[in-house]
Amino acid sequence: MKIAVLGGDGYCGWATALYLSRKGHAVAIVDNFLRRQWDHELGAQTLTPIRPLAERLKAWQRVSGKVIDLYIGDVADYDFLAATMKSFEPEAIVHFAEQRSAPYSMIDRKHAVFTQVNNVVGTLNVLFAIRELSPDCHLIKLGTMGEYGTPNIDIEEGYITIEHNGRRDTVPFPKQPGSFYHLSKVHDSHNIMFACKIWGLRATDLNQGVVYGTMTEEVEQDEALINRFDYDDVFGTVLNRFCVQAAIGQPLTVYGKGGQTRGFLDIRDTVRCIEIACHNPAARGECKVYNQFTEQFTVLELAKLVEAAGKKLGLNVEIDHLPDPRVEAEQHYYNAKHSKLIDLGLQPRYLSDSLLDSLVNIAIRYRDRVDASLMLPQVNWREPRNDRRLQMSMTARASLAAQAERADVTKTSKG
């Protein structure tokens, strides 16, 4: 199958492009390297020394004999996107090409506006390009479990059947996202459902959980193929960050009580889920929605797992509870359905002791590259402007505590 991976130089995108290429698909990466730009802006670096994309692609050709096409440009630029579609003629488009960090979107107004405009316009462009140039092409769009928030009822996969005043309907599951970034994905989801309805497009919206891990079968074949491993406060995901903190002897930073429950998955399951979606295209006019994660954990549970793994490796691991920089429920009901991808053949790789060991070992291996100042949260949801440059790591905790007290008013609103 001809598959375009938009955002194929990013964390999930790179792993996906390699996996689909190995499985025999004709893959094109579409990317404008914005993700690398944001590292420069934030003064952060992936733990792992990733190579420039050109070098990565040469290495892949060397080890696999396979060529991945490359189109360099911005999907928010319609002329570029349309030219790419005409040139590559994809049968499926996997769309990762969005700003994907909640804290980044909460830095200030410009970052919030950028995130929503970039993500919404990019996805609108993809929808129009499919409609105009290739109406049969299947869109596989990465959403997030964070679109749902934490309602006090079970979270279904995209749609819920409601009985109300003696009548019944199946409607989109209500969304209560927790950042301007998560909101942008909710906007996308609504736009995609509408485009399927009016134009008969095919789409699969994957509400992905928090991804962990960096190694996949493809990436392991050559050091030049190594994937990102983000641990900073803005782009780092929580389990990766905990492993790095354990490796350098810093306390694991749990936000608030740590009762925040989320869905998680191994990056090796991410790439498999994408392949399953490609092989099971939505019908014309259909917008499928899957919840893409394999296990639920609270943040504190994860911290305790890393603590145990670290101790086994002889590390002295402590857990620290910081005032929560986000506005979110710290203890809540959470039960999100996630059976559809399993029904289609996903065999989950659950978080095991051995995987945790290997994650911590990766962190130990690249310990010299860690910037310890990047792990304390410096973006506070309660503030409309967060100037990361002015904040020192030492003051982050005190500043958060003060802000949390000032912002008591927000605690009256529903978590």
Which residues would be at the binding site for a copy of itself (CB under 8 A)? Answer: 78, 109, 112-113, 116-117, 120-121, 124-125, 128, 131-132, 151-154, 160, 162-165, 167-169, 171-180, 183, 186-187, 190-191, 193-194, 196-200, 283-286, 327, 333, 381-382, 384-385, 407, 409-410, 412-414
Q: Which amino acid is at 324?
A: D
3 state SS of 70: strand
Catalytic-residue membership of 181: yes
The backbone torsions φ and ψ at residue 222, rounded to the nearest 5 degrees and listed phi first, read: -160, 135
CA distance 370 to 355: 21
User: Which of 175, 185, 288, 304 is flagged as catalytic?
Assistant: 185
Angle at 145 between CA 371 and CA 243, to 5 degrees: 25
Residue 384 DSSP one-character state:
S
Which residue stretches of 23-174 are H helix?
34-42, 53-64, 78-88, 102-105, 109-133
Identified catalytic residue from 46, 115, 144, 150: 144
Phi, psi (rounded to 5 degrees) for 308 = -65, -45
Cα 182 to chain centroid, rounded: 10
Token pair belonging to 203: 């789409």
> Of 83 and 305, which has the nearer Cβ to a copy of itself?
83
Could you say which of 181, 231, 255, 334 is catalytic?
Answer: 181
**CA 341 – CA 248 distance, rounded (Å):** 37
d(CA 197, CA 205): 14
Clarify whether 255 is annotated catalytic.
Answer: no
CA distances from 84 to 35, 55, 136 (A): 20, 22, 16
CB-based contacts of 321, cutoff 8 Å, min separation 6? 254, 255, 256, 257, 258
Closest CB to a copy of itself among residues 173, 255: 173
Q: Are 116 and 92 in contact (CB under 8 A)?
A: no
Residue 196, H or E segment: helix 180-199
Q: Distance between CA atoms of 51 and 54, rounded to whole angstroms?
A: 8
Question: What CA–CA distance (Å, rounded) separates 266 from 340?
Answer: 17
- What dihedral do alpha carbons 232, 144, 206, 123 form, nearest 10°? -90
Q: Is 337 a catalytic residue?
A: no
What amino acid is encoded at 112 in this protein? A
- Scanning the structure block, which residue is given the tokens 């790095």? 244
Shorter beta-carbon distance to a copy of itself: residue 33 or 194: 194
Q: How far is the CB of 103 from a copy of itself (least distance, A)?
A: 13
Q: How far is the CB of 87 from a copy of itself (least distance, A)?
A: 19
Specify the amino acid at residue 210. V
Least CB distance to a copy of itself at residue 160 (A): 7
Q: Which residues are catalytic?
A: 144, 181, 185
